[in-house]
Structure 1
């Protein structure tokens, strides 16, 4: 597998005669947090890795010199905030860096409270964060920009869905305003799947009503309805300072899981000046500071339509670093009060396999559909592409990911076998027919 260690990563701030201050990286179970840990740890920055378990990928990295286990914010985000505040008060931590969707939202909403400990909270203030996080607010903002967007409609009361659907461009997507909603002490996460796509006004109305009706946390946070734009998913990922883009990297999705459209499984680096300009306009309008992903759909005519903004580290951050834009290091320098710069150069045409867990799941999906030729595509990527987890100088996380993947696969097989056995024992089962 390609070696992702670069010579520039050996530079440390100790060369200036001072010890670099410690950071706490949250969400240590995923590849994005692992990449942040490695980028900073390789440069001599002391890193504490936080997570809900000591078995996360970042937790077992050689570059984690301390670990912190906290309550799951999805189960009780208030308890998570209290626990984190007490930890920051008792420990010398320069900055806390949330990585996941849920922790970024919670840390933004409670930023002032956490900052009272003297620790920098590396996420935008609630007002700015919400402008990107709430898709309704984002597309209201984007309507005044010279950036193409899908037709987007929204209502404050889901009872108005009939009016909302009237004359809507179809097919359409019933989109949650945000991936995570804080309600009743819990962080509720909603993911878009095939159910959210509709082709008729009647389907739009019924889907909207069912989704809101069965999810009480969506009332008062009603979904938007957006025109479906076919094409290829692309993204410009940035580090910005009050709306000025300091560094940018672009990528496109070669394949996804699920294959019909979802998270990236294989990515390719690219460069397009039009997407660059559009991303800069969006970031400037948001007055954004910190890392963010600006996602577009590229249509067959080469146009880019704004789809969403993720105001946090993105899952494929290891790819940007491997291609030459070390966002975690640039972000760290920004937190120190510097104005980091990047020359804009990075390798294009490179590909990365997100082996754990998206491409493994893609392969499983293909096999379940008896598309056995997928083994070849999967194997070629395994042998030739960059990878999001593996690193020669830090092998334990990859070994842990293999064991986690095997455990998840075994659990899925066990669950399926249990379902089949239950159906066989149940004379009323629709699968037990003669």
Structure 2
């Protein structure tokens, strides 16, 4: 299997499959924790952004030059997921793919399209508006607080390190809209109501043609940053069967095949779960699923080689923590009065699964710290605004130039 990306999500995949003897390689432009895993035997460094035509050429060349024809290609991050989906025809000539074509994947990947599917499935989501201009924002009856966010978040994350921009009034909303449209096209920007003071949950599942084969639920207790986190930092395996039913309706309409996470937020105003996102790829806390008996990477691998998935009954009660981000998330929560220092320390007691730390595979933890230090240096030198670039559109053409840079 060839993993596209080497962060802690890819590391979880590598450990799951490597312990079972599956040969593993990784491709990345910045070696991260998974790159240094003892289970990875082939490493391919790419000097540019992990999208676009040059990267597509590189992947095709890697297979042909290194005898990887027939290997499973497994994207572990959003931009590589989209690249593979948009270029299934060319990549499937040399690799086995676990990614569905763009004609299917786009309905989960793009939140504007996802909301159309959710409406048809009877799954609620926070109220959302799609203004085409600043003038339309002023004319809309939008309650505050609200947020501005892209329909596909990866470009803004890399450009300014944020998934969403909060606003408490119209002028703040206009400013957020301007920041967002400096990075993505106006038609790819949305405004959404803020669902406050609520718990966030996820459904993790393996699907075949939209049918959930096996699933489990979890509460995403903390994220970092704590307002609109880039990723979860503390997750607890708790039972929420009603969310599996909602996910079944949604994923059935999406026609999803493979491992997937469906994110919800519980609206305390009416007690109803509202859809936040769908991630049809390895997600941050998937190693909690593995520890609970639901090994999604192994199921994905088996499905790729023709083995039909069987139903698994997961165990509940374990916790997952990403120490590198949960400590600052805990500090932010204490400062905000959301939790006491003692309660934070108590939350870390009990049976836990770590995102990176593993005595049987120790090097990735050291690499994780080095990457975090690099990220901090990059953030201190990052400009406040970014030039607008876009890697979406037509499938990548061989030999064309890439778009925006990749920042870990």
Q: TM-score range by the shorter chain?
A: 0.7 to 0.9
User: Does 2:5 match 1:41?
Assistant: no
Give the distance between the partners of 1:87 and 1:244, measured in 2 at CA. Answer: 34
Distance 1:127 1:302, change over 3 A: same
Q: Report the count of equivalent residues.
A: 376
The two structures have a TM-score, normalised by structure 1, of 0.78
The structure 2 residue matched to 1:130, chosen from 87, 103, 106, is 106
Q: Report the counterpart of residue 265 of structure 2 in structure 1.
A: 297
Distance 1:360 1:144, change over 3 A: same
Q: Distance in 1 between matches of 2:333 and 2:40?
A: 36
Q: Distance in 1 between matches of 2:56 and 2:128?
A: 34
Identify unmatched segments of 5+ residues in structure 2: 382-408
Runs of 4+ with deviation above 6 angstroms: 366-373
Structure 1 window deviating more from structure 2 (357-366 vs 268-277): it is 357-366
Of 167, 188, 195, the residue aligned with 1:229 is 195
- Match of 1:253? 220
For residue 79 of structure 2, what is the aligned residue in structure 1? 102
- In the alignment, what sits opposite 1:335? 304
Higher RCO, 1 vs 2 (CA within 8 Å, ≥6 residues apart): 2
Q: Indicate the residue corresponding to 2:321 in structure 1.
A: 353
CA RMSD for the aligned pairs? 3.1
- 1:275 counterpart = 2:237: no
CA distance in 1, matches of 2:159, 2:258: 23
- Contact 1:149–1:307 (CA under 8 A) maintained in structure 2: yes
Q: CA deviation at 1:40?
A: 0.7
Shift in alpha-carbon separation, 1:166–1:122, aligned structure 2, 3 A = same
Confirm or deny that 1:27 pairs with 2:1. Answer: no
CA shift, 1:267, in A, is: 0.8
Rate the CA distance shift 1:399–1:382 in 2: closer, same or farther, 3 A.
farther
Q: Spell out, residue by residue over 1:284-303, the C-alpha distance to the aligned partner (whole angstroms, 9 max, x if none).
A: 11111112211100133542
Larger Rg: 1
- Counterpart in 1 of 2:283? 314
**Alignment partner of 1:73 is 2:49:** yes
Are 1:401 and 2:368 counterparts?
yes
**Structure 1: which 5+ residue stretches go unaligned?**
1-22, 417-434
Give secondary structure in 2 for the equivalent of 1:87: helix
- SS of structure 2 residue aligned to 1:128: helix
Contact 2:134 2:174 in 1 (8 A): no
Change in CA separation of 1:374 and 1:27 when aligned onto 2, cut-off 3 Å: farther
Which residue number corresponds to residue 425 of structure 1? none
What is the distance in 1 between the residues matched to 2:300 and 2:239? 22
Structure 1 Cα separation of the partners of residues 141 and 133 of structure 2:
17
TM-score of the superposition, structure 2-length normalised?
0.82
Residue 238, structure 1, aligned to residue 238, structure 2: no
